[in-house]
Amino acid sequence: MDDESAARKIRIHGIVQGVGFRPFVYQTAVRHRLNGTVANTSTGVTIHIEGPSARIDNFLSELAHKQPPLAHVIEVHVEPADLNGHSDFTIVHSRTGEGPATLISPDVSICDDCRRELFDPGDRRFQYPFINCTNCGPRYTIIDDIPYDRPKTSMRQFAMCAACQNEYDDPQSRRFHAQPNACADCGPHVSLRTHTGETVSTDDPIGEAVNILKQGRIIAVKGLGGFHLAVDATNDNAVRRLRRRKHREEKPFAVMSPGIQEVNTYAAIEPEEKNLLLSSRRPIVLLNKKKPNPLAESVAPGNRYFGVMLPYTPLHYLLLAHGFSALVMTSGNMTDEPIAIDNDDALKRLGNIADFFLFHNRDIYLRSDDSIVRRTDGSNRFLRRSRGYVPMPVFLKIPMPPVLGCGAELKNTVCLTKGKNAFLSQHIGDLENLPTFEFFTLTIDHLKRILGIEPEWIAYDMHPDYLSTRYAEDQKRAEKIPIQHHHAHIVSCMAEHQIDGPVLGLSFDGTGFGMDGAIWGGEVLIADHAEFTRVAHLDYFPMPGSTSAITEPWRMAVSYLYGTFGERMWALDLPLLAEIGETNLRIITQMIDRGINAPQTSSLGRLFDGIAAMVGIRSRVHFEGQAAMELEMQSAEGDDGIYGFRWSPGPVRRIDIRPLIREITGDITSGISRNLIGGKFHRTLIALFTQLAEDLRRETGLDRVVLSGGVFQNLWLLSGFIRALERNRFTVYTHRVVPTNDGGISLGQAVAAAAIVRKGP
Ligand code: ZN
Ligand code: ZN
Ligand code: FE
């Protein structure tokens, strides 16, 4: 006889639904010969366990040390319970209840077991494009309510056949309670359509799609989080045709390859990058191009990187199993709109781009773009945190009230908080048109529902014209708290490192509305969560033509030159000025002189643009930041020192960049290469702000520096600042969990607003 019988109630919080947690508990309980129940609840997983107390202890310790691969346990509560006299262990039906939201798993790429079955002619799911199990498959994109059970997903319309149901009910099966479980007899299917929507009659739609791709044609493929536009990445004509039709001139396209071996033919892969490519999250990873390489030049023109991902759905594996080394897989949208997710909507919006459509009939409830990650300085750096990562929360240090952060205008995401969790949404896009705004409101409503959060406070950007600002103002039930853009950047980085202030914050980006109405972007702040003081910034220069100066960097170049040289500008022997011509120059200088449509800016992003135009890299861009990015890529290490700079005395130091502009102009006229000028410019910025940080440390004693803002996507600056500041004994914090660009702003807004609420009036 064992020792005395006991009973325990165990409540587990974390990512424990849709990841095989209940079968794991079941199998563990059975192995320890214990009885009771396990259930999903809206708060997580609840276990009632009874049996000899020594065995219960063993059970608990196994629970603490072993977990299914996709589970992420945050908290476990164990309490005594009454013996109910269970005679076995069972998984009971889900029940709903009040309490903190459970965590929903992100979408997970197909696992190795399922992939083996997919290509096993003896398996009953041989070549079935929707094969999945408890360890893999769609999650976030197919859920529209909690708890995570089949009737709450877009699988509800597919009744399982007897064979699938048996697996679903069998605790020994890999598909025990796998909610999207299906097979060719009972589950979703693919179909091939023409660009006008007629069904192409074929027994093998995927094989036919492969033939079409091999002819160099474009297929819109419905995936996990939305449609992709696919085309053979080695066929330059085909890729160019896709660019023309999509109105996407130069922004790089992502590619998908069947495996590491194929990626190796065109890109260099570091070990950490390989792990990232193969991880179940399957992001797009930026990899250095090999030269020469077999991919079409038009895939990523003028870029040092390829954005590469491996297949993450069975459908992708089937498409790529026919000899492609890489397919372009770019978001299925017209530039600037959200990706299409419905078949009908895709036909309407992509009918002029794609030649054919590969549809399937498993609905996507919430679109989710591919995530984009780069490895630098030993960490993942997100350019976009979306599919595969969302809705995994950012874990915070202190509990939060329910706040909604509305994000910024570009690369928008939203953020909802509850307890110690900040839930960042998937990438929503640039909030500049109605379809994107609708996606924004839909995502907020959806997240509120599946996370069970009703925000009492809404944090938003101070820019009066942003659609997100209008949205915030329209919400009646919550209190609104505006958060300055660059403060939000710094707080987002503090939040992911779980640090409080005060810190020195270097907040460098393209555009953010300042407290004085100017456009900020080269800011040094002393900040904590609730407040900030602006202690230094790049001196103001006008942006002639306002937003036109973003797409036409030559305007910024003129502004810097005119602001530095005044009337002497006309005598400068610069190729750019000759290219612009006197008429255009007169228009711009008049705008500046009269202050018409020429807002003031301290943006470092604009300075990068202006210098890129001055050295002749480009005077017009196809996407924000393109000129700055090319300046980074064309810059070379040299050893000829740095350019001059100075700043006015505090409390708000104005950094005078006229010495820098003057010396760069001199270098251009004396024929120094743009690569060397670019390198020297980078070194100058690092030296300047490191000196400034030392100055501020002497004054304030602060020795923690937080780096945030879109400019830190520039790896030269990111690594350079980390090295220089650490050499000078600063502790440096950089983004590893959320993007340094505006995709991280919503987190900073929510955390800052919560601190303001906590502090009270
Ligand atoms: Zn699987
Ligand atoms: Zn079936
Ligand atoms: Fe920003």
**Environment class of residue 98 by beta-carbon count within 10 Å: exposed (0-12), middle (13-18) or buried (19+)?**
exposed
Ligand nearest the Cα of residue 742 is 3
Would you say the pTM of this structure is higher than 0.85? yes
Q: Which two tokens stand for residue 535?
A: 């202690």
pLDDT in tens, 691-727: 999 999 999 999 999 999 999 999 999 999 999 999 9
Residues of the chain with CATH 3.30.420.40: 537-733
100 pLDDT band (50/70/90 cuts)?
A: very low
67 pLDDT band (50/70/90 cuts)?
A: confident
How far apart are the CA of 709 and the centre of ligand 3, in A?
5
Residues of the chain with CATH 3.90.870.40: 190-360
Whether 658 has a pLDDT exceeding 50, the answer reads yes
Of 562, 523, 521, 570, nearest to 542 (Cα)? 562
Q: Indicate the fold that domain 190-360 takes in CATH.
A: DHBP synthase (3.90.870)
Tell me the DSSP string of 459-485.
EEES-TT-HHHHHHHH-SSSEEEEE-H
Average pLDDT over residues 423-435: 95
Ligand nearest the Cα of residue 111 is 1
HSE toward the beta carbon, residue 122, CA cutoff 13 A = 0
How far apart are the CA of 344 and the centre of ligand 1, in A?
30
Ligand nearest the Cα of residue 604 is 3
Whether 177 has a pLDDT exceeding 90, the answer reads no
Asked whether 30 and 74 are in contact (CB, 8 A), the reply is no
How far apart are the CA of 273 and the centre of ligand 2, in A?
37
Percent of the chain at pLDDT exceeding 70: 98
Ligand nearest the Cα of residue 185 is 2
Q: What amino acid is encoded at 585 in this protein?
A: L
How far apart are the CA of 262 and the centre of ligand 1, in A?
23
- Alpha-carbon gap, residue 425 to 416, rounded angstroms: 8
**Mean per-residue pLDDT over the chain, rounded:** 94
For position 139, what pLDDT does the model report? 92
How far apart are the CA of 68 and the centre of ligand 2, in A?
24
Question: Starting from the edge strand earliest in sequence, which strands make up the sheet with 479-483, in order?
Answer: 394-400, 415-424, 403-405, 457-461, 479-483
Q: 718 in the Ramachandran plot: left (φ > 0), alpha (ψ -120 to 50) or beta?
A: alpha
Ligand nearest the Cα of residue 746 is 3
How far apart are the CA of 223 and the centre of ligand 2, in A?
21
How far apart are the CA of 150 and the centre of ligand 2, in A?
14
How far apart are the CA of 744 and the centre of ligand 3, in A?
9
Residues of the chain with CATH 3.30.70.100: 5-98
Backbone phi and psi for residue 409, each to the nearest 5 degrees, phi listed first: -85, -45
How far apart are the CA of 345 and the centre of ligand 2, in A?
29
**H helical segments located in 1-111:** 21-31, 53-65
CATH 3.30.830.10 fits 537-733, yes or no: no
Whether 730 has a pLDDT exceeding 70, the answer reads yes
Ligand nearest the Cα of residue 124 is 2
Average pLDDT over residues 162-191: 94
How far apart are the CA of 630 and the centre of ligand 3, in A?
19
Whether 328 has a pLDDT exceeding 60, the answer reads yes
Of 241, 247, 253, 385, nearest to 330 (Cα)? 253
How far apart are the CA of 115 and the centre of ligand 1, in A?
7
Ligand nearest the Cα of residue 167 is 2
For position 99, what pLDDT does the model report? 45
Q: Indicate the fold that domain 5-98 takes in CATH.
A: Alpha-Beta Plaits (3.30.70)
Ligand nearest the Cα of residue 407 is 3
How far apart are the CA of 155 and the centre of ligand 1, in A?
16
Centroid of chain to Cα 120 = 35
Whether 216 has a pLDDT exceeding 50, the answer reads yes
For position 1, what pLDDT does the model report? 43
Ligand nearest the Cα of residue 70 is 1
Average pLDDT over residues 4-10: 92
Ligand nearest the Cα of residue 484 is 3
How far apart are the CA of 510 and the centre of ligand 1, in A?
43
Percent of the chain at pLDDT exceeding 90: 87
